[in-house]
Structure 1
């Protein structure tokens, strides 16, 4: 597993989401996003399980209007923030791919397979 810096903990506001490109060009870049809910950070690969496309149309816009669920901008599928499980839409029953998050004094890191 490789550890990749995302941001400082305080740079991700409560109830917000943010997208990141991590990795290096030689090993390939990975697109991930993080959501802070109730002080905890949840991270997932930025890939919709239905179409294999990015979830957002606008940068850092991964949540529905109430900021209660992750939403695919292409077809409106809704996912639980804490589990990544799709609860509505064409991929109901599928789930986003979680990415482990590590908290350090420096900030937030994600752990990705080599």
Structure 2
């Protein structure tokens, strides 16, 4: 999934603690939008695609809705995803999950990792 020549996705300091950012990455030869979430030093990433209707999760490029409970909310139909594993906990795709993309933090940068 990753390439030895690929640049880092984003610097860790560019992601607010508890926040979400959108980045582009080349996966299997295709450029895809990813949602990257930071919780302290831990970083998780998923495809920026809601499993309900295949639409992007952001309401504007790189702008995401977070519920009061700290869940990512799909801007199109309101599905809510917990940010530990990307499981849909409410809305039209309850029980589905976002497609995880393995990432790692090295030298203050977020990189694609081997699956």
TM-score > 0.5, shorter chain as reference: yes
Q: Is the 8 A contact 2:43 2:105 kept in 1?
A: no
Moved more, 4-13 or 60-69: 60-69
TM-superposed deviation, 1:57:
1.5
The counterpart of 1:55, out of the listed 57, 80, 85, is 57
Structure 1 position 7 matched with structure 2 position 49: no
Distance 2:69 2:43 in 1: 14
Gaps of 5+ in 1: none
Number of equivalences: 112
TM-superposed deviation, 1:50:
0.3
The counterpart of 2:44, out of the listed 42, 52, 75, is 42
TM-score, structure 2 as length reference: 0.85
CA RMSD of aligned residues (A): 2.2
TM-superposed deviation, 1:110:
2.0
Higher RCO (CA < 8 A, seq sep 6+)? 1
TM-score, structure 1 as length reference: 0.86
SS of corresponding position for 1:92: coil
Gaps of 5+ in 2: none
Q: Would you identify which runs of 4 or more consecutive aligned residues in structure 1 move more than 6 Å?
A: none
Moved more, 74-83 or 33-42: 33-42
Q: Is the 8 A contact 1:101 1:108 kept in 2?
A: yes
1:105 matched to which residue of 2?
107
